[in-house]
Amino acid sequence: MVQCEMCGAETSSPKTIKVEGAKLDVCSNCTDFGTEVKQQTSSSSSTKYSTSSSSSSSSSSSSGSTSTSSSASGGSSSQPRSDMFDDMDELATDYDDLVRKAREEKGLSQSDLANELNEKSSLIRKIERGDTLPSDNVQSKLERFLEINLSAQSGSSEDSEWSGGSSSGSYTLGDVVKRKD
């Protein structure tokens, strides 16, 4: 006997239903609270990801099919996953100074620059103070008009800190933490 996951009643033949995205094994009285999920038979349930117990049982029945599926999935998992942030350019930490200096070199006021870029002067003021980060669109406008590069350089000083470490080659907490003294 199994307990209904909704009302707690004992049932001998639970039905699987889906309630707001969650699959529950419920008694016949509670099936009206969700939509019934069709059960797959064990012979037709072949998934891309399987546990070791299911792969061992399928390997005993057909060793040829598991070797092709494991080599297909093994090839894709050996490649490192690409993170979407790897391709993104990081904004320079002194972007506010870069924008201000370039604007002043061109002899423009903040409102003149805003008019040229078709942006609000308050946005330029906030960017130059460092209160806000420029959106990708505004960043490209600033870079094009002021002829500057606001992307952080790949060999920044923050990355060079990680090349040190202790003499054994492993890092300790003291190698990584920056004190606020």
The reply to whether 160 falls in a domain is no
Closest CA to 128 of 91, 103, 145, 156: 103
Rg (CA), the chain: 30
Tell me what pLDDT residue 51 has: 55
The reply to whether 164 falls in a domain is no
Pairing, β 15-19 against β 35-36: antiparallel
Closest CA to 23 of 12, 32, 34, 13: 34
The reply to whether 77 falls in a domain is no
The reply to whether 89 falls in a domain is no
Tell me what pLDDT residue 119 has: 93
Annotate 77-117 with DSSP letters as a single string: HTSPPPPGGGSSPPBPTTHHHHHHHHHHHTT--HHHHHHHH
Full domain range(s) for residue 7: 2-36
* Angstrom distance (rounded) from CA 181 to CA 176: 15
Burial of 43 (0-12, 13-18, 19+ CB in 10 A): exposed
Tell me what pLDDT residue 68 has: 44
Three-state DSSP class for residue 152: coil
Dihedral pair phi/psi, residue 29, rounded to 5°: -70, -25
The reply to whether 78 falls in a domain is no
Tell me what pLDDT residue 145 has: 92
Tell me what pLDDT residue 166 has: 53
- In a structure prediction context, what are the per-residue pLDDT tens digits for the chain, which is 181 residues long? 889 988 988 988 888 988 888 888 899 889 888 888 876 655 544 455 545 444 444 444 444 444 444 444 444 455 665 556 666 678 888 889 999 999 999 999 999 999 999 999 999 999 999 999 999 899 999 999 999 998 876 544 444 445 555 556 677 777 777 777 7
Tell me what pLDDT residue 125 has: 95
The reply to whether 30 falls in a domain is yes
Side by side, which strands form the sheet with 15-19? Answer: 22-26, 15-19, 35-36
The reply to whether 82 falls in a domain is no
What's the CATH number where 131 sits?
Answer: 1.10.260.40
Tell me what pLDDT residue 171 has: 74
The reply to whether 177 falls in a domain is no
Q: How many domains does the chain divide into?
A: 2
